[in-house]
Amino acid sequence: MRTLVLGVGGMIGDAVAASLAQSGHEVFCVSRSAESDELNGIVYKRADRNDPDQIALLVNTLGIDVVVDVIAYDVTSTQNLLTSLAAKIDQYVLLSSCDVYRNYGLIHQTEMGKPDPSPLREDSPIRSHLYPYRLAPARRKDDPQRWLDDYDKIPIEAAARTFDGKWTILRLPMVYGPGDPQKRFERAIRPLLAGAETIVVPASWLNWTTTYGYVGNVASAIAASVGNSDFENRTFNVVDREPKPHREWLSDFAKLIGWSGQVTETDDPNHPISVATSPLDLKIPLLVSGQRMLDFTTYRPTLSHQEALRNTIAA
């Protein structure tokens, strides 16, 4: 399949492009900063994903079969893109997020009521409060975070389901591993590597269960969806292993590193992790099920949990 990846130069887009190439697809990548070039069998083109005419021209010129949209952040640009792609491609793959679920809103304290039963499946309740990161007043137009005011995967998913052609929606978890811009496990890994005798960690963070996915496994799941009839006109959670509390992640990292120190729990609100998570209700889990993908497709994660952790530690 001739596949166009919209949004490279970041952790997920680059991993998706590499996984597609390894799977035998002809891969073309688009970003506003890319130089027209070919590297490791992947062709790079400079274009703006938010300019539908530019993307439609590339699709026609290159004979693209499938578009993988890594950076669908607002519904207006996505709807314009889908309109321009109608009847031009065989499949549109939208990378969505597990932040669509109502429990995510409860964690961020923008929803009311009790948590929905876990694990969350694709038909579990979604948020009623849209635009979870919108500020009032809105961010200035020159603010680099301005895009967050219009970010919401819920209306974007709705637009994708109206696409005049085959579509696939993949709800990604919190993605970790080499290249993670948020460095999700760095605060846990660095003290272990440094051989600290004791590390102090907030109990709320240790006890919180959320859903992570290793970047290599997430990318291979996305690549597996391209041109695959098992994924046609369906929505899937992408989960490479059963979610578990942070304390178990910490224990797994410690075993691989060979760390035998002591973990001390704290309720100190001034601890850096406590400060960073203060807007969140960590008593509510974001435990997402990946069973539907196992039931409907032949895809299975390519890297083991141990390999994923080793790669993350090395990075």
Over residues 288-315, the pLDDT tens digits come to: 999 999 999 999 999 999 999 999 999 9
Over residues 137-194, the pLDDT tens digits come to: 999 989 999 999 999 999 999 999 999 999 999 999 999 999 999 999 998 899 999 9
Phi, psi (deg, nearest 5) at residue 146:
-55, -35
Model confidence, pTM: 0.96
Alpha helical stretches, state H, the chain:
11-22, 52-62, 75-85, 102-107, 153-160, 186-193, 203-207, 215-225, 246-257, 272-276, 291-296, 305-314
Reduced to 3 states (helix: H, G, I; strand: E, B; else coil), residue 263 is: strand
User: What are the chain's domains?
Assistant: 2-177+212-242+288-304 (3.40.50.720)
Phi, psi (deg, nearest 5) at residue 259:
-85, 135
Over residues 87-140, the pLDDT tens digits come to: 999 999 999 999 999 999 999 999 999 999 999 999 999 999 999 999 889 999
Res 238 pLDDT > 90: yes
The answer to whether the peptide bond before residue 119 is cis (omega within 30 degrees of 0) is yes
The answer to whether the peptide bond before residue 202 is cis (omega within 30 degrees of 0) is no
Do residues 44 and 204 touch, judged by C-beta distance below 8 A? no
